[in-house]
Structure 1
Amino acid sequence: MSVKNKILIAYPIPKEGLSELETHFDLIYPEKEFFTKEELIELIPHCVGLLSIFNREVSADIIKAGINLKIISNYGVGFNNIDMNAANEQKIIVCNTPEAVCEPTAELCMGLLLSLSRQISLCNYGLKTNPEFEWGVMKNLGSTLRGKTLGIVGMGNIGKSVAEKAMVFGMNIAYHNRKPISEIKWKDAVYMNLPDLLEKSDVISLHCPLTPETHHLLSKKEFLKMKKTAFLINTSRGAVINEADLAIALEQGEIAGAALDVFENEPIIHPKLLKQKTALAVPHIGTATIETRIEMSREASQNIIEYLKNGIAKNRVN
């Protein structure tokens, strides 16, 4: 009986999604919450594949210890947790899971937008904590979405899904990418450069990857370009926004509100942001549904199977 190659599973993701992977390989699965860095370095020399997770670092020393490593399949669409230079130097394929995360992230984005624009979270908090919370026809006024312009920064799969959903609410769509998308299917979607998008949008939603070019893409200068009535939503990566500058912009009323699923130094959130009533914060739950977590396991597994068995790297990012 032949010995199966080993795959290191860095975090206890749903085993329901790992069943096919287990038929082809021996899985090293954490019995505790996760493997420590030291444990990864000890285990990885024996493995041909690593199934990593978006919120745990895969550093250069971990990668260099993987003397037999051929592929890293990251559980998540982002891959800034992986030292890509080290992976490239070792000629290791890196893949992500873009399909499974698309719809749940877009759903959360719309939920944050509705909560922000209609003050749902703020009213809920007020009713539960303040016996004298005011009701009334001209109290707790929000902002309707119909006829407003949604500016999407990063028109990838998630951005497109958000655009489709927003159009159902009667919103106009503007977008900014590194370049216009020739195959975009909405005839009314307008490509804009970033300064114009910031100036003309009523809502700005971020869906771009974190790269050196997008780090602090929005800081003080950009917030000053936005409408004072504008809302900002971030379900991409925390460091795309300068959190300190955002806290000041909210405090000074330079923009009307922000809803954030991601933060610069998770799980730490800038203390001034937490004090702002116009800031809505949730703990990186863009893909946090039971169905999605299982599907992400399957997609990450399939990356490994397809590459090691057939030489196909569908979701390759390097």
Structure 2
Amino acid sequence: MTMTAEQARWFADTFDKLVTGVGRAVIGKNDVVRLVLTAMLSPGHVLLEDAPGTGKTSLARAIAATVKGTSSRVQFTPDLLPSDVTGVTIYDQASSSFEFHRGPVFANVVLADEINRASPKTQSALLEVMEEARVTVDGTTHEVERPFLVIATQNPIEQAGTYRLPEAQLDRFLLKTSLGYPDHASAVQILSGSAIRDRAEAITPMISLQAVQDMSDLAATVHVDAAVLEYVSRLMEETRLAPEVRVGVSIRGALALMRAVKVWAAMNGRHFVVPDDVKDLVRPVWLHRFVLDPEAEFNGATAESVMSRILSEVAPPQARQQSA
């Protein structure tokens, strides 16, 4: 079953309501909010690389409040254990049985703050839950809540004593983006409401968790023409052939892009994907998956410059048809 034009209009209207709701707490960052909501509906997870104090916690809490869901925050530190994230089984003397105490990962929106400060073992515990959507402790499997969105953060200005995420783990994140500092007008608006300690508390739910799941299922039915699939495949292949790149985009990265562009198309009120949807999302979905050649990187090559060149060289379907 393919999404209809009427369903696409409903999806776009509902998506706009979610953006407006989250925007009450995260002021002036609607573009980033759209990306994060796209990740949630794809479904997938987000890596935010930002300086402290840019509103990452507010973003996570606001999204959870808008969809009437739960949120949690885990401050990653070198001494954080995997069980501190996933939960632990404890013996209850009263009942003479073991009980599982859920960790903070059992929430609809989980903020993993400064994920690169925890040990690789703890990072892997979270990344496993992100991929499998379940936790297995002492042989018993526990499903996490749906929808399930992890927003992991990294501080780009403090790398001493941190554990850099390996490229294979970065590939687990659907997209990478940044909130950044607010512009002048947004900063003035934020300062005028400085008495409000937590803007997310004032947000009223826009839709239910079930409606979010319905939107995610509906987005999966957006039509993708064979020409668009060919376009994405050619872009993926070019990232592997680029001389500046040591490891290009994997098929998992291409699948992630396809899931995201379907949501992006529906967010724009369309029941079909166009090449511009691919161009809009290819950078946040793919750039963090590049492994550049060290010599090329030393000479000034960046993932952004490589992707820009590839996009200019690989003609989208419409351009190929016109030139034929």
TM-score in terms of structure 1 length = 0.28
Structure with the higher helix share, 1 or 2: 2
TM-score in terms of structure 2 length = 0.28
- Bigger-Rg structure (1/2): 1
Give the structure, 1 or 2, with the largest relative contact order (CA under 8 Å, sep 6 or more): 2
